[in-house]
Amino acid sequence: IKHPLQNCWTLWYYENDRSQTWEKNQKEIASFQTVEDFWSLYNHIKPASELRQGNDYSLFKRGIRPMWEDEANKRGGRWLINLDKKQRTNELDRYWLDIILCLIGEAFEHSDEICGAVVNIRGKGDKIGVWTSDATKSAAVIEIGKKLKERLHIPPRTVLGYQIHKDTQDKSGSVTKNSYTV
């Protein structure tokens, strides 16, 4: 008998094809709701560090699309981990796996607020975001940020910022302001 997870999760892959819209480039790969099915999927796909630049993986609760526009995301935001170039070899895959395990293992007190997570492979520096559904729920957002930082062993001096999707969408300059930090 397989070990059930509390939620069913869907893995998405974004391939940067400039002849298509952003939304069309998001492809559902597979869903799983047991520990065993997670590991068979994980062991079968390329690690994030081997994706081509410009591409993403996203892992979201079933029924939530990995985009700002989804009903579950539109009032939300993300905790953002910005990696520098040398962290792709050292840390990216470990961070991404640890985040997946926090999500599917429901490691947060406010796991209900979690929508999913995204890893962006980018030449200017990779990014990992953990998406929550309501940016006004400050206690939940902060608990998730603190737990994330602790579980990933991110040094205390490294500041993580939470950015509201609406701000990311509307940003005029190149940086989005942080609404919370831990």
User: Contact positions toward ligand M7G, by CB under 6 A?
Assistant: 22-23, 67-69, 120, 122
User: Is the Cβ–Cβ distance between 98 and 152 less than 8 Å?
Assistant: yes
Which tokens belong to 14? 């974004």
Decide whether 50 or 69 has the Cβ nearer to ligand M7G.
Answer: 69
Minimum CB–partner distance for residue 56 and ligand M7G (Å): 7
Which tokens belong to 87? 């962290």
The residue to which tokens 């009032």 are assigned: 75
Q: What is the bridge-based pairing of β-strands 77-82 and 127-132?
A: antiparallel
Minimum CB–partner distance for residue 1 and ligand M7G (Å): 38
For residue 37, how far is the Cα from the chain centroid? 20
Decide whether 122 or 151 has the Cβ nearer to ligand M7G.
Answer: 122
Decide whether 69 or 109 has the Cβ nearer to ligand M7G.
Answer: 69
Minimum CB–partner distance for residue 73 and ligand M7G (Å): 7
